[in-house]
Structure 1
Amino acid sequence: MTTETWLKTGIDLAWKFVAVYWLWHAWGNKATLRTEGWLTQSLLYWAPLVVAFVLLGPGEWFGHSWLREGIVPHVVPVFAVALLLVVAGATLACWSRHLLGRNWSSVVQVKREHELVESGPYRWIRHPIYTGLLLMFAGSALDVGDVRGILAVGIVLVSFGWKLRAEERMMQATFGDRYLRYRQRTAALIPGVW
């Protein structure tokens, strides 16, 4: 097996680990008090993720279209950086998911006896799961090395932007001034940037 193959396999394994971790820990969450409608969830959150995953799929799916225009060289150092980003993102996302515990939801919701988690990465970032997933998508886009990778990351970023704004409104309504103070001392996704 070549070094390139090992690195690409590592990227695939990181994504599979996150998927299994998410499915395993999806059971036993607290009961829901408030949630967004299914149409909003489907159009603004799930559909963009599906499109992004398709864009990062096998290049053969896109033939010789402009989506396959290479923008990053397909060399081992690039694949190594891609793996580093994906593993860092997977680590951050899983750690953050673990800290949320039974408060977690895949959609914008408030749970019964919802708790505001402010430990671990939540000390600096209000939405570290999104940050972790964005790192994973960025690493996968780098691995793909085509225009379609940038498009996939852009789609996910816009989707997460909508979702985090909705979450922030719901958390503000739930926790009031406490959330406002938390918001003032933390970044939404990237400390010092956003």
Structure 2
Amino acid sequence: MDDAAYGLWPLVILNTALFVVFAASFFHPRSKRDWRVMGGYTAFLVALFTEMYGTPLTIYLLGSWLGSRFPLLRSTHSGGHLWNDLIGWRWDPHLSPFHLASYVAIGGGFWLIAAAWRPLHEAARTGRLATTGPYAWVRHPQYDGFVLVMIGFLLQWPTIPTLIMFPILLWVYARLARREEAEVAAVFGVEWDNYAARTPAFIPHRAPGSDRITQHHRGP
């Protein structure tokens, strides 16, 4: 075992704090619901960085079971990149397809969180419904941003605890979104109903305004 790769608890604390502060600077949590979103995200990061730099529980558990079939699966920092181990990637793990895809997902997630905050803040300031920017594509872009960041980390460094936590956090975020929608619908009524009818909750499936374009072409 490469002992120097683990037991680095200051790095666990530093990395968790760094990514939490980074997300909070984009997300600007204010309500109890916002802090629940941050709480779930923080718990995910604690579990992730604990195994990345603290104790490689997943490697210990899988190594005894799959070690003979996957010789790269060992208790070193490089061995923690499980997707690379399973496909036999023998080069720099930070340049593997999984790792490069993780950079895109994490960067895209933080960009989406930041991009969604401005129209949301402006709408709240003027008492309007947020329907521009990322909100023209999906009703909950900031939740999508957090999910993208977590997917990025799972591509980079999957662990048993984070793989278990991920679907639970999806369920928690979906429940928070439904509660948020009920509150907004009570305020905006028909305007919200029309917006929700043309805009998907989480997964965009057409360009914003495509319904209006279609109706324009079909008109007299």
The 3-state SS of whatever aligns with 1:72 is helix
Identity, in percent, stands at: 23
Residues 48, 155 of structure 1: 8 Å contact kept: no
**Alignment counterpart, residue 54 of structure 1, candidates 38, 46, 51:** 46
CA distance in 2, matches of 1:41, 1:96: 14
Contact kept? 1:72, 1:146, Cα under 8 Å: no
Q: Give the unaligned 5+ runs of structure 1.
A: 1-11, 30-34, 104-110
- Mapped to 2, the partners of 1:65 and 1:140 lie a distance apart of 15
Deviations 1:128-179 (A, max 9, x none): 0111111011101211122333223223211111100000100110100110
Q: Which moved more, 1:167-176 or 1:153-162?
A: 153-162
Tell whether the 8 Å contact from 1:85 to 1:138 is kept in structure 2 after alignment.
yes
For residue 118 of structure 1, what is the amino acid of its counterpart? T
What is the CA distance between 1:45 and its match in structure 2?
4.6
Using the alignment, how far apart are the partners of 1:154 and 1:95 within structure 2?
Answer: 25
> SS at the partner of 2:57?
coil
Query: Unaligned 5+ residue runs, structure 2?
Result: 1-16, 63-79, 86-92, 207-220
User: Partner of 1:137 in structure 2?
Assistant: 150
Bigger Rg, structure 1 or 2: 2
Q: Does 1:89 align with 2:128?
A: no
For the residue of structure 2 that corresponds to 1:73, the secondary structure is helix
Q: Superposition RMSD on alpha carbons, in Å?
A: 3.3
Q: 1:20 aligns with which of 11, 15, 25?
A: 25
2:84 — aligned with what? 73
> Paired residue for 1:3?
none
TM-score normalised over the length of structure 2: 0.61
1:128 and 2:141 equivalent? yes
Instruction: Find the residue that maps to 2:130 and give its secondary structure.
Output: coil
Conservation of the 8 A alpha-carbon contact between 2:48 and 2:159: no
> Equivalences for 1:32-51 in 2 at 5 Å?
45=37, 47-51=39-43
* Cα separation, 1, equivalents of 2:146 and 2:40: 13
TM-score in terms of structure 1 length: 0.68
Map of 1:169 onto structure 2: 182
Q: Across the two proteins, how many residue pairs are aligned to each other?
A: 162
1:86/1:137 contact within 8 Å kept: yes
Match of 1:180 among 176, 190, 193: 193
Separation of aligned partners in 1, 2:121 and 2:100: 32
Assess if the C-alpha contact under 8 Å between 1:123 and 1:186 holds in 2. Answer: yes
In structure 2, do the counterparts of structure 1 residues 41 and 56 end up closer, same or farther at CA, with 3 Å as the change threshold? same
- Structure with more contact order per residue of length (Cα contacts < 8 Å, sep ≥ 6): 1
Q: Shift of the alpha carbon at 1:61?
A: 4.4
| Partner Cα separation in structure 1 for residue 176 and residue 187 of structure 2 | 16
Q: Give the structure with the higher percent helix.
A: 2
